[in-house]
Amino acid sequence: MEQWLEWARGPLFKFAFAVMVLGLFRHLLLAVAGTVQALLRAGDTKIPYKVVFRTTLDWLFPVKKMNVNRPVYSVISVIFHVGLILTPIFLLPHIQLWERGLSIRWPAIPHVLADMLTLITIAATVALLIGRLGHIYARGISRIQDILLPPLLMVPFITGFLAMHPAWNPVDYNAVMLIHVLSANLIFILIPFTKLGHIILLPATQLVSEVGWHFPAESGDDVAVALKKENMPI
């Protein structure tokens, strides 16, 4: 078991992380190339970069977007994303692994806060899955990955919590850690190929959308007129 764990932590982790980085870099290059191409072909090249920046911040911190059709679901979604991003990045054992491998480190969150974020993220994941499957319209537009990814995302959180709390762990520590590392590696590999990539690529999407809105010239204004939303955000 220990040999499998070392393999998962070593060569397999390096492979999974490389796939994630290269896959996201490919997405970024395609986005930049597509944006430049659209700008060169667009008749209206006046891109409101301040608006794009402000809109991007609105999506990154969607406080103003909470009061929509499903405010509770929106709040849970924000909590889920916060826990999903912050917990693994600022967990002390993870930081120590980076320090051991690359001699870099950053501040860690307190152990108690890490536990709270872990449990909140697990609960939020379950709530989001129930909210999606229990809502007729959300269920209708859900893809297979929308159903399968949340349970997969819970695995490293559950196993990580059990590994950090031996008294609550009903199975062998190495077995739990092996599942923890394997599930995390699988998530790394899936990030560039699934909707998980939006967690990292979201900041670039508003600029791409805005440039597309300007191609061809004044097409955005024509759509706004058709929707009767002149001078309004769409």
| pLDDT tens-digit series, residues 157-216 | 999 999 999 888 888 889 999 999 999 999 999 999 988 887 777 666 666 666 666 555
Judged against a pLDDT cut of 60, whether residue 217 lies above it is answered with no
Please tell me the predicted confidence (pLDDT) of residue 132. 86
Q: H helices within 68-172, ranges in order?
A: 71-90, 92-102, 111-133, 136-140, 144-164
Judged against a pLDDT cut of 90, whether residue 152 lies above it is answered with yes
Sequence ranges of the domains in the chain: 1-227
N residues, the chain:
234
Judged against a pLDDT cut of 80, whether residue 79 lies above it is answered with yes
Task: Assign domain 1-227 to its CATH architecture.
Answer: Up-down Bundle (1.20)
Please tell me the predicted confidence (pLDDT) of residue 179. 95
Q: Which residue has the higher pLDDT, 45 or 127?
A: 127
The average confidence (pLDDT) of the chain is: 82
Q: Averaged over 35-45, what is the pLDDT?
A: 70
The answer to whether 153 and 125 have CB atoms below 8 angstroms apart is yes
**What's the whole-model pTM score?**
0.77
The answer to whether 125 and 80 have CB atoms below 8 angstroms apart is yes
SS3 116: helix
- CA–CA gap between residue 171 and residue 12 (Å, rounded): 23
Please tell me the predicted confidence (pLDDT) of residue 184. 94
- CA–CA gap between residue 78 and residue 63 (Å, rounded): 9
Q: Averaged over 28-45, what is the pLDDT?
A: 74
SS3 107: coil
The answer to whether 59 and 206 have CB atoms below 8 angstroms apart is yes
pLDDT tens per residue across span 57-77: 676 666 666 656 678 888 888
